Amino acid sequence: MIIEEYIGSELDSLSRSICATPETRESLDAFAKANFGSMDYLLTQMAVQYGYTLALNNIKEKLQDEVNVGGN
């Protein structure tokens, strides 16, 4: 499996997980503020998934930049 396919499959799995992965830092912060700490385990999982999504998207962008530079 090539790296782009792996990243795509990981991002897809996050969108189908039992816990919603926040789209933005603002939505994660809003959830944290709204629940007053009553769902700390869920909040932790959401934060982990958000961080993983950011990391995968950063790697994906870096790979695309490398392809674009190498292709010119």
State the alpha helices, DSSP H only, in 1-72.
3-15, 25-35, 40-71
Q: What is the pLDDT along the chain (72 residues), one digit of tens a residue?
A: 588 889 999 988 888 888 888 888 998 888 888 888 677 888 889 899 999 999 999 999 998 888 888 765
Q: Is the pTM of this model over 0.85?
A: no
Q: How far apart are CA 5 and CA 15, in angstroms?
A: 15
- By residue count, the chain amounts to 72
